[in-house]
Amino acid sequence: MLFNMWYVAADLSDITDKPKHVKVLGKKLVLFKDKEGNIACLSDVCVHRGASLSAGRVVDGCVECPYHGWRFDRHGAAVKIPAQVEGAKIPRRARVDSYPVVVKYDWVWVFMGDLPAEERPPLPDFPEYNDPNWRLIRGEYTWNADYARVIENGLDFSHAPFVHPSFGDPAHAVIEDFDVESHEWGAGATVTYLPPMYKGMWKMIRRERTPVRANPSFHMSGGLMCLKVHITKTWSQIIFDVNTPIDENTTHTRWIHARNFMRFGWADRDAKRRVQAIFVQDAAVVEKIQPQLLPVDLSEELSLKSDGLQMAYRRMRRNFIKKGWSIDIDHFKDSEDLKRARVIPSPERNKEENKDIEWVLPTVPVQVITPRKAHLHAAGDEIGLH
């Protein structure tokens, strides 16, 4: 699981005047509003005796630990320790990690990592979000699967005829060669495919069986998978979904579906049912994939040209792992929860004024890539590994 990334931790509507517990990257976090109404995100493990801050309450814009009442401000520093005699100094080590928060698309994005602001990736664009020509609906889905497997599934066009009968047709499963366009934080492609005739009210929008153009893409921020489908020359739909790694085998997907046709409220239920059906169909396959985690070694599964966009994702992910931005999940097995709490490092640790602090909780161990077993050359339709 990659850190030094933005992930969606909650819906904006989840944030009330009570602390909100969430889990991202296998780590407990607490979200709350400070005095100005800005959302703060702290590590949810109190550095005193390990209690969950989220089980406490919000007082004066701080979160108060339910065990001994220590209060932490939005930067994670303790500002009150009730058991201290008057005039006693609050130790500087009495602090928890605090992660940057941004609200966008009515989601609460948290930056899980310690990069300074100027080095953090941007959030993905969604120009249709505020465009009145598009009707939006939302939903969510929880998978018992690795988030990288889930993202890849969304980029994979050759599975559609076999997994989604409403979307693809096994008799027309060929994926014509396509180019992948990459940028610093993601990539996209244009794919043409031949869906079956639509059923129900959707018959009205595509009367003839003609090929359809689609733009699948990904962005590392949020584990975003976006699919734009141009059903006709003017009518399109978009699925914009962010995939949050709750832990190594649980993914929480939040999706927004946008359509620029049949923009009436009465068509929402049908659109929602269609999107939900797609997730259920995917999960039946994705939750049983072995190994559960996406391989890091690109030669461990056989990839063809039609898997080009997934390979762009795998390469980008591998580069971030090489930078030391991936948690070595082996530590979850024996130490997390039982022996030792470890946290994702936050930008607070690198601030000049905090440099001399020895933080109470250690940071997560980082995954190290072992060299590839063999150098393989692409042959025929196989995709090259470089």
- Chain residues in the site for ligand FES (CB under 6 A): 46, 48-49, 51, 65, 67-68, 70
Which residue, 174 or 368, is less far from Fe ion as judged by CB?
A: 174
Binding partner at 359 among ligand FES, Fe ion, none, C-beta below 5 to 8 Å by kind: none
Three-state secondary structure string covering 20-35: EEEEECCEEEEEEECC
Give the residue among 4, 100, 22, 42 at the shortest CA–CA distance from 327: 4
By the rule CB under 5 A, 241 interacts with Fe ion: no
Judged by beta carbon, residue 46 or residue 227, the one nearer ligand FES is 46
Q: Looking at beta carbons only, is 81 or 277 nearer to ligand FES?
A: 81
Given the complex with ligand FES, which of 68 and 269 has the nearer CB atom? 68
On whether the CB atoms of residues 245 and 24 are closer than 8 A, the answer is yes
Q: Which helix (H) or strand (E) holds 79?
A: strand 78-80
Under rule CB under 5 A, residue 64 binds Fe ion: no
Q: Say which entry of Fe ion, ligand FES, none residue 282 contacts (CB below 5 to 8 A, set by partner kind).
A: Fe ion
Region from 5-13, 138-146, 217-225, 275-283 binding Fe ion, contact rule CB under 5 A? 275-283
Residue with tokens 């003839």: 208
Interface stretch with Fe ion, choices 13-21, 61-69, 231-239, 277-285 (CB under 5 A): 277-285
Let me know if 174 is exposed, middle or buried by CB neighbors in 10 A (0-12, 13-18, 19+): exposed
Residue 335, number of CB atoms within 10 A of its CB:
13
| Contact of residue 285 among ligand FES, Fe ion, none (CB under 5-8 Å per partner type) | none
41 vs 150, beta carbon nearer ligand FES? 41
Considering only residues 152, 282, 307, 348, which one is a binding residue for Fe ion as defined by CB under 5 A? 282
- CA distances to 116, 163, 228 from 237, rounded to whole Å, are 36, 20, 6
CA–CA dist 202, 200 (Å, integer) = 5
Adjacent-strand bridge partners of 224: 219
Interface positions with Fe ion (CB under 5 A): 282
